[in-house]
Structure 1
Amino acid sequence: MVRFRDDDLMSNIVDREMDKRTMLTAFFERNRIDETARVYLYKYFPKHFTWNGSTRRWNPRGRKNQRGRIVSANPAEGERYYLRLLLSNVRGPTSFEHLCTVNGQRCETFRKAALELGLIEDDEYLSQCLEEASTFQFPNALRRLFATIMIFCQPGDIRKLWNDQFESLSEDHRLHCQSIERVQNMVLTEISVLLQSMGKNINEFDLPKITDDVNLQDAGYRELQEEYGIVLEPEHLSAKDSLNPDQKNVFDEIMMHVDNDLPGVLFIDGPGGTGKTFLYISLLTEIRSRGLIALATASSGAAANNMPRGRTAHSRFKIPLNLENNSMCNIKKQSGAAKLIRSAKIIIWDEASMAKRQAIEAVDRTFQDIIGVSLPFGGKIMVMGGDFRQVLPVIKRGTRAQIVDSSVRMSPLWSLTKKMRLTINMRALKDPWFSKFLLRVGDGTEEPIEGNYIRIPDDMTIQCNNRENAIKELIHAIFPSIEDNVYSSDYIISRAILSTKNESVDEINNQMIEIFQGEEKVYYSFDEAEDDQRNFYPVEFLNSLNVSGLAPHKLHLKIGCPIILLRNIDPSHSLCNGTRLICKGFMRNVIDAEIAVGQHAGKRVFFAKNPSNPF
């Protein structure tokens, strides 16, 4: 701290320096007098304006562009760091006061302003999330949200969060029960069941103990109760009557194994559109209607959602992420998952061609160990399906030999597997000509032109007269009259635009979001580098990274827009990687969404604002 007396000569020098324009204050002044300058962030300002050191002003730049950067600041520097954070995210500020004003309210510090904008993590945001959700949802939905927060948001003080939100979590039970202890036990019991469905135990968390003798479901039999409690859809019960001859032959073969209790491993091979999923649904419904357990799994969340009570194979069988040639699944012999496997009559694994052979072999070894039978998969009836023309196992930076080696075809189990093939029933397809063309391309029989090129037919292309409006024309062709159907879930999920690059996906998504009506809400992720004590990786650099498989730093949402879940939250209730949802509402710390596809379509769910956006 440096101090000067009022009569000191140095005080005049300090006043004179305070009146000088700096690059930052000149940036504010330029925004006040030039509306076109307000669209640029401070770090991009040198690209469009040039600094004149003599007049100390920003002037419009000519043709040549130039990159600029903001002076680095460490989080330990306090307000200077938060000022830098605001300048990296707020467009067009005209003064320090303007920079500190959020939603019409003046914040006392830069940190408070960054907090109100959601740029930094707030210790109280989880409590605020539950309070916001309680204004338009019932307590049972809040309890599911509370369980999700416990697992995925890593609250620092779960007991305090429980104490603060107990009244909202228990509102329905308190209407029918006067005993606070009994109400607490009922709430904890429901949360315990939800945690079990997500693979966790309530005893792992700092919550009050269940003191009363309540009817808490035994964790060892919960999985069995869930499978026995599946409600069969009427249209699924009649599915077997609509099978084509190929599907009917496969159906009868598998049911012969079920009726005669014959173990076996079967693989259903067929291109897309042959009705493999429809066949799975017929098998699952037929077996479950007899009071037996049939497990439905898939290598991807999207495929699992297409089957009733489908789960990803990694979730159902606890397959380790880092696989070795001798890996085992993380299933204990006395656990509920082990009892469920022993009780299952048949297990269906869709998109098995996408799974690594090490994963399938790990499941095989685990089943033999749990069941105590040395036959493949412990003597279970194992039905796998897939299409080797589609995506094979993904090996990061792998060679062709490594990809082939990881395929299920290279496993010793493949020689013990009975293969059944489905052919395309063209009458069942909406566009048989289109499917025939794709199959010819995939099989390599389509006649090339000019060497190795293939000409795409005119019926499969969209004519574009203006390259600058190409994306708009594409959106208009795929989503005609979207302005009149933005609130129709069926309209939104029945169409999709595919792209080969993430940059193109982001550009299309941004233009799609602009079409939707209503208020836009932006959620920010909180990116940080571990063990970066010297701030080698500034926050804005981490925020600028757009890594494949991770959500962007800024998540733009409007009511009615589709969103896709990027992580497994509760696979037993279709909240898994790849689940498509429709945004139905949002507040500062909570998102209200509706599941759009699968057996839980139409179900409303909550998502708390997460340090890493899950969408």
Structure 2
Amino acid sequence: MKDGHCKKRYPKQFLDETRQGTDSYPEYRIRFDESVSLGKDRSVDNRWVVPYNPWLLLKYDCHINVEICSSIKSIKYLYKYVYKGPDRVAMEVHKGSYMDEVQQYVDARWICAPEAFWEIFRFTLYRLYPSVERLQIHLPNRHQVRFYDHQQIADVLNNERNSKTMLTQFFALNLRDPQARKYLYREILEHYCWNKRDMEWHRRRSTRKVIGRIYTVSPSEGDKFYLRLLLSHVIGPTSWEYLLTNNGMTFSTFKKSTEDRGFLETDHSIRDCLVEATSLRMPYALRRLFVTILIFCEPTDVRGLWNEFFTHMVEDYQTANNVVESNLTNMLLKDLNELLNLHGKKIDHYDLPSLPPNTIDRGAVPSIIQEELAIDFPNEDIESIAKLNNDQMIAFNTIMNVIVQKHSGVFFVDGPGGTEFLIRIGDGVEPTKPDDMVRLPLHIAIPWEGEHSIQVLIQHIFPDLELHGWDAPYMVQRAILTPINDDVQKLNDMIIDQFPGEEHNLLSFDEVEADNHNLYQQEFSNSIAQV
């Protein structure tokens, strides 16, 4: 207890289901129950129960707190305790009457009895499995070379050993060993080992499992980041030129080679989004969309998008303000910069014109209010009011009356829909079995008969699929839903096998939300199948 309250924030609150908390710990389901009296005006209920495992409590006859490990922060927490090193104690040693505080201060290691016992008997303290080795990555002739001060630079540069790295010798290995060309750079350690003495790759003889990890590279490091992307997807490269060449065309940068191979998102979809928005959205909405694209979509040609959609983003300036053409750029840059500031960004973070220090002052009215006042209501929205049914009209008039009279109010509109069966489930009137399970009617269920039932389902949802491989309306009107990604992958493979023609693999661009420091690499995200 601290200041009259539990520092672990007990009692917790009643919850219908477990959810992720804000401090990396889950907030567990706590069912409502009646409190139990402990005497002396004290009582407890389920809110006071810590997470536990009954089997462990009975086996070890002691208090054991059990938590769900569901966050990367939990992993860091465990590693911090495993690898933080031994406990230490600071002490002072006094000799005679004279005391030198600097010399007397000793940082001494302290070993508790259990750890001393473990050390004496030479038991294993920790073990890492499987072994993880880091793979070097560098641009051509940009690797690290270590030498002594007394060595001549010419001798260092002429030493052939200094020109060898794990990456350059990976290229050499692929040239001389056809078997090695079957693997990616990060997979090579599973089949070959790196000998630091002779700076060469040798075929692995032991059965020890080893995993390779390429050093992390931030997108801000430019071409080195795109080199890492190529090494993560191109199998068996034999040289730098191999990575820079695709379909007989050689590129000057790894970024261009990455784009041509389809490993990097292009601006085509971004441009299509802006083109469509120019015909539907007001200029202020286009400006917000442009900023959203800058922050979250990382376009490769920012200046090209600026030049193409500049006139669409400044259309309202010419009607709302008496300004000349030369000032439109500054006004747009100011508005974009204000929106970027909300996300901790600035105009100079992107390939855009510089924002002059004496930007035009558009008045004291905030831009967000100007944007709200400039909203234009389409006629079709006004005309659609007459098409509302009786219940919809009652809801519309009730809400509008509050707005017109400038009163406050909160409304919840519930419009149930779906089949003579889903509505009964939602209303709680459909008969249930134990644990609130609902039996599906036989006419909407397929009896399970192994893999054959899956084929029956596919044939039912996608009849004559081989004849409609390129029929867009046919495809968008059908879908098979499944709760886990492993089943999605299995169904996709079975359905794709029925398509005629040659198979092409298209890679997804996976990313983790709010991963501003690029902690989760794409190859890790691609490897996650089940959610």
TM-score bucket of the superposed structures, by smaller chain: 0.3 to 0.5
Please identify the structure whose Cα radius of gyration is greater.
2
Give me the TM-score of the superposition, normalised by structure 1.
0.39
- Structure number with greater CO (CA < 8 Å, separation at least 6) is 1
Give me the TM-score of the superposition, normalised by structure 2.
0.44
